[in-house]
């Protein structure tokens, strides 16, 4: 039954089709029961507004998979502005991060005969012009870092092979992070404003270089910075560290506009000092953060902000007296997400949602100030029985950790409520209050409680919230999670017998550690696509790219603090653990399935009851097939119900 319920939700034809601006129209990638691999389609904005949208299919991934005998999974398209008829389509075999790239013509609906084709790899690529790409990829022996990511950028002309491409930038084989990345910034008319290259030094630190012609020059930017866009000759940045220059200072977390000419170590042709000084658009307080940012040609900057994990949508406008902000009205206590933008028209999509409130999609126009609601998703579960509350737990060092509780309105606080605590706590990824329809149907409607723990390591309160638990301080994130569990039990919402936890990827580190450090607090754990053997994570594909987050086990003093929490090493045969459920994916080339396999094997060797399931397609993102994804969620909730409900 749960599988059927989940499948009905994930394949429903009345879902909101996520829109993107595509040339003069709207594009969308769509999956349902009839098209599990999906179709890439388009329509006009006028038709999208209507109740009966007329879609034109451009590319059918199910048909392509059948014709080519491949398990193709859509991984997106990059279309060249302004007409956006030439698109680089990324296809994954079975859901892996590594993709094949092919050039597609949306005007003809055909693959381009002399088009760009890149073999399978973890590419970083951008259009430079209609006949040139900037490509960072595997160019042969000794062109990838130990994490398997590229460190060389080349210019690839139409008709050339990768071997014939011209090198324009080279990092170092010892670089960390996710590989060197070229970024071409354009205005809405397609004119190139800047070409920047990010050279990662580790997971979070990077050098920023500007490519002018065939020569790259380093910019005078801090190593922890995110370039959000280009406005004229100004770079719009968010800072992940404090920054001082030219007698001015900005604190970490700020949104700043900086003059590109003054950032150059080597002046560009015709460089003149900007008449507009470097300015801060927004400086958050300790309970605020910036999430999405978009730069528009009319000079406005749109951003989603979070204030105590509650969303706001703001347009920053430049006037004669500097920048000022204008709030776009959104409901209280919701998550706000910025969608695609049209730079030259000032239009942008945005959506709002809450734990009990389905998503609503709107279109705004900064030039007119108008907003209109385009779509409202139907309710997928009965939310009338539940209420949302926000509490704080006190962690081991006294820090207040916020968390949301979605519970029945009439809940008697005697500790009997089956409760799932979700956590992530890493990589500056925020977890705001979003609508999770399958969770509502399969868990809340059955009387369950859902908890979203905003522990440190996330981005809910900006870079400091994340950086406070890096490397040797990681234990604090685990303490935060345990503090939330204890606080829930102290309040009488649940009890150890009724408490379960769920986390995936980095959240798999969290949940596996919770099992080994605090088995007395929980009776269930879904550990999905996890990192678990933290003393060897760097030896598995992509693992070394995360050394900036966890530390380097090859360094003895860093191995020492990692070993103190690594769940694979901390399992004990004489400790009583709950029956955990470990699940992974054979095609996961981001977090290797070996972590999950080894943990399950060691549990078995030590005589601990556990469940293990390995899906054979879908990859780390689980985006290959909504029907398969429904089965995945059904397995999770059947297990949690067995463990936590009578």
Which of 92, 147, 505, 529 is the catalytic position?
505
E strands, 423-557, are: 449-453, 499-504, 524-528
The two structure tokens encoding residue 440? 């509502």
Cβ-contact 210, 229 below 8 angstroms:
no
Vertex 566 angle, CA 608 and 402, to 5°: 100
120's enclosing H/E stretch is: strand 117-121
Longest CA–CA span in the chain (Å) reads: 74
Which of 466, 620, 636, 641 is the catalytic position?
620
Vertex 72 angle, CA 71 and 78, to 5°: 170
Q: Is 505 an annotated catalytic residue?
A: yes
Cβ-contact 30, 12 below 8 angstroms:
no
Q: Is 620 an annotated catalytic residue?
A: yes
Report the alpha-carbon distance of residue 526 to residue 637 in Å, rounded. Answer: 9
Nearest to 543 by CA among 122, 145, 143: 145
CA distance to 52, 89, 293, 298, 637, per residue, from 348 (Å): 22, 23, 11, 13, 36
User: What's the number of CA atoms in the CB half-sphere (13 Å) around residue 68?
Assistant: 12
CA end-to-end span of the chain, whole Å? 17
To the nearest 10°, report the CA torsion of 407, 408, 414, 418: -60
Report the alpha-carbon distance of residue 167 to residue 355 in Å, rounded. Answer: 49
Write the DSSP symbol of residue 164: G
Report the alpha-carbon distance of residue 66 to residue 75 in Å, rounded. Answer: 18
Nearest to 11 by CA among 440, 362, 446, 380: 380
3-state secondary structure of 525: strand
Place of tokens 């398997």: 148
Report the alpha-carbon distance of residue 403 to residue 306 in Å, rounded. Answer: 14
Residues in the chain: 646
Strands 25-30 and 20-22: antiparallel
Report the alpha-carbon distance of residue 588 to residue 590 in Å, rounded. Answer: 6
3-state secondary structure of 627: helix
Provide the β-strand partners of residue 402.
392
Cis omega before residue 275 (within 30°)? no
Catalytic residues: 505, 620
């Amino acid at each position: 039954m749960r599988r059927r319920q989940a499948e009905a939700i994930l394949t429903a034809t009345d879902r909101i089709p996520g829109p993107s601006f595509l040339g003069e129209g709207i594009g969308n990638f769509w999956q349902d029961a009839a098209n599990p691999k999906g179709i890439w389609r388009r329509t006009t904005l006028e038709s999208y507004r209507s109740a009966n949208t007329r879609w034109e299919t451009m590319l059918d991934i199910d048909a392509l998979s059948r014709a080519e005998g491949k398990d193709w999974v859509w991984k997106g398209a990059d279309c060249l502005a302004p007409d956006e008829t030439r698109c680089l389509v990324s296809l994954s075999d079975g859901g892996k991060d590594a993709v094949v790239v092919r050039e597609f013509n949306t005007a003809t609906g055909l693959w381009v005969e002399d088009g760009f084709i890149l073999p399978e790899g973890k590419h970083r690529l951008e259009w430079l012009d209609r006949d040139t790409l900037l490509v960072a990829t595997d160019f042969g022996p000794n062109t990838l870092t130990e994490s398997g990511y590229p460190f060389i950028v080349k210019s690839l002309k139409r008709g050339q092979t990768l071997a014939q491409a011209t090198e324009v930038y080279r990092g170092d084989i010892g670089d960390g992070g996710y590989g060197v990345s070229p970024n071409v910034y354009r205005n809405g008319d397609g004119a190139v404003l800047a070409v920047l290259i990010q050279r990662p030094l580790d997971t979070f630190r990077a050098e920023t270089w500007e490519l002018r012609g065939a020569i790259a020059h380093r910019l005078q930017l801090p190593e922890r910075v995110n370039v959000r866009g280009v406005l004229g000759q100004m770079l719009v940045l968010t800072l992940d560290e404090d920054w001082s220059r030219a007698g001015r200072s900005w604190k970490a977390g700020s949104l700043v506009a900086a003059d590109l000419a003054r950032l150059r170590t080597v002046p560009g042709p015709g460089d003149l000092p900007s008449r507009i000084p470097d300015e801060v658009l927004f400086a958050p307080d300790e309970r605020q953060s910036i999430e999405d940012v978009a730069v528009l040609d009319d000079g406005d900057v749109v951003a989603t902000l979070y204030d105590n994990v509650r969303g706001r949508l703001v347009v920053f406008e430049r006037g004669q007296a500097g920048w000022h902000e204008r709030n776009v009205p959104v409901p209280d206590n919701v998550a706000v997400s910025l969608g695609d933008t049209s730079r030259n028209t000032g239009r942008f999509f945005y959506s709002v949602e809450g734990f009990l409130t389905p998503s609503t999609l709107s279109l705004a126009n900064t030039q007119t100030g108008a907003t209109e609601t385009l779509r409202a998703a139907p309710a997928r579960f009965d939310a009338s029985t539940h209420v949302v509350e926000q509490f704080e737990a006190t962690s081991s060092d006294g820090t207040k950790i916020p968390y949301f509780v979605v519970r029945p309105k009439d809940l008697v606080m005697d500790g009997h409520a089956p409760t799932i605590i979700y956590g992530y706590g890493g990589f500056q990824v925020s977890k705001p209050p979003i609508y999770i329809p399958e969770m509502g149907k399969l868990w809340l409607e059955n009387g369950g409680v859902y908890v979203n723990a905003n522990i440190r390591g996330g981005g809910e309160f900006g870079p400091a919230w994340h950086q406070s638990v890096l490397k040797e301080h990681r234990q604090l994130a685990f303490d935060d999670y345990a503090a939330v569990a204890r606080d829930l039990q102290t309040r009488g919402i649940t009890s150890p017998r009724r408490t379960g936890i769920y986390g995936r990827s980095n959240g798999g580190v969290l949940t596996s550690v919770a099992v080994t450090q605090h088995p007395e607090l929980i009776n269930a754990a879904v550990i999905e696509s996890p990192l678990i053997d933290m003393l060897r994570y760097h030896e598995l594909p992509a693992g070394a790219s995360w050394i900036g987050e966890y530390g380097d086990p090859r360094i003895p003093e860093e191995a020492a603090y990692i070993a103190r929490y690594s769940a694979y090493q901390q399992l004990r045969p004489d400790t009583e653990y709950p029956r955990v459920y470990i699940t992974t994916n054979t095609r996961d080339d981001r977090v290797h399935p070996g972590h999950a396999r080894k943990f399950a094997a060691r549990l078995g060797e030590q005589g601990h009851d556990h469940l293990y399931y390995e899906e054979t397609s879908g990859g780390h993102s689980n985006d290959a097939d909504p029907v398969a994804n429904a089965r995945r969620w059904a397995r999770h909730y059947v297990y949690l119900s067995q463990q936590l409900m009578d």
